[in-house]
Structure 1
């Protein structure tokens, strides 16, 4: 059986994006929650919980960019033309985060505030890009023909706010795993409230999405799509109820984070299946955006890179689990 290399590369990109969202999500979530900690001792513990994982998350983003450059080169030019403003804003936010991480010993109050601001900026802009991609991008041929501010709409602002709640929830449940004492108790309370607000925001997004355009309406509400498109969101609802029970009525440390990851995976899977095979550009499939280069030759190197990042991430996670921060 002949392997479809275009699909293989697309699946690697989807896997890389999933791993980035699930790993860098709680890094950014810890930053979003930074000012919720009342003292510098708590904030020091929060930073220590993600320090060993700081570089691994961005490696997934680098992997995705390299895969796009090799397999789908026109996509990069379209993405830059359509989203140059939020992408530059994300870069600015990441720079602020990195600088605050290095300089906070000089003036903790100012740099802690900037660390939180940078995390919120990066998260919100990621959410707006996601919302703009769901709504659709103005492309003719392989060129972006829209306006530089098309990415900013009421729906993309909604998805930006939803992603803020999402990453904050991930960060809070991560701190349930990696902290103990007073900080652990605070994060358990925060996790409960964030989960409820996340549920409200995600419900609104899921109800609105099928009515954004004709393609989404047909994909979600047309028959027989209605039956299989609703299956994975129902799994997400089940995971939501499960994690609510675990956070509210149990003292388990690792399960809230693990179940939250499952719940977010169902949301990401639903997003991908609602667009496939037009993952990035709604009116162009992955086959139309694929480059003409030999896609088989560099594939082995990319797979080795994926294995290396997975090994690094596993060691970082294990170290964090084995050494909780006593606060």
Structure 2
């Protein structure tokens, strides 16, 4: 019990990472498909792409709401500082969600569906850019003094956040293409293979740049590259490279589910490696004011109570989510799901 109490903040950090990863793997694909509709060849292809996520997008988006609630309860100082520093990109994300949600609600009964198809794509792009800029703003460092945000409203916008935004866009496009490979057929699937290859190459290049520049910005991450014996940073970096190789191999062999699975592993391994590199900092800073996991965590009593609640709710949420995916499994056609 004493060991658990001493590590409550770290346990919740792992749970936050789980919810964040689950959101990225699910709604990231939805946002990627939304952005791909902006360059799709025909309205019929756009309709099929939109239909492929019609029954799951709302549930996938809910994970980020749960994540926000967890951060508010388990890491209130993180929540307060990060929202103060990044309210502009996070507001862009929220407006994107609104655009996308309205597009879904009005599309089915609209006479001019093309308007809502465009709104679906634009909303997805806005939400993705908001998340990318927020990621770059966080990893690029937040100025903190006396446990409060001490910077300017526009500090998040710099070359590093632009690179991160491009990386998130490419990564989500890659996820969306992989999802379409698994869920569609015919010409749309063939185009998705080509898109998955192109976006995979772009994601590899940009993510490598993010890794390098993050190590240059944060001395604690650079130190872990040089320490002896080698840290787990090497292991997860190696696993990320292997996953990329297997991803391209599965595309070349025209596998249908494997590209998406390897894409998931790429994200999981790279996210884990980046987190290990920055740990214990939860709010990185370019000076000596970085705040650690323990410093931004709530009281042990709060964390214990939330852990009990999560132990009850998480299995229920995962069971329902798995069931909904199972019900709407199979290929998506112009008429709907084939159920296989």
With normalisation by structure 2, the TM-score equals 0.90
Deviations 1:293-316 (A, max 9, x none): 432223222233322221222123
Task: Please tell me whether the aligned partners of residues 179 and 326 of structure 1 are also in contact (alpha carbons under 8 angstroms).
Answer: no
* Structure 2 counterparts to residues 137-216 of structure 1, below 5 A: 137-216=142-221
* Structure 2 counterparts to residues 30-69 of structure 1, below 5 A: 30-69=33-72
Residue 119 of structure 1 corresponds to 124
Distance 2:259 2:57 in 1: 22
Distance 1:114 1:44 in 2: 13
CA RMSD of aligned residues (A): 1.8
Shift of 1:252: 1.6
2:315 counterpart of 1:311: no
Distance 1:10 1:206 in 2: 21
Task: Please tell me whether the aligned partners of residues 247 and 256 of structure 1 are also in contact (alpha carbons under 8 angstroms).
Answer: yes
Bigger relative CO (Cα 8 Å, ≥ 6 apart): 1
Shift of 1:68: 1.7
With normalisation by structure 1, the TM-score equals 0.93
Distance 1:108 1:225 in 2: 59
Task: Please tell me whether the aligned partners of residues 243 and 260 of structure 1 are also in contact (alpha carbons under 8 angstroms).
Answer: yes
Residue 338 of structure 2 corresponds to none
Gaps of 5+ in 2: 336-340
Residue 296 of structure 1 corresponds to 304
Distance 2:306 2:218 in 1: 37
Shift of 1:216: 3.2
Distance 2:67 2:205 in 1: 31
Shift of 1:25: 0.5
2:96 to 88, 93, 96: 93
Stretches (4+) displaced over 6 A = none
Task: Please tell me whether the aligned partners of residues 142 and 151 of structure 2 are also in contact (alpha carbons under 8 angstroms).
Answer: yes
Q: Match of 1:95, SS? A: helix
Q: Match of 1:279, SS? A: strand
Distance 1:297 1:207 in 2: 39
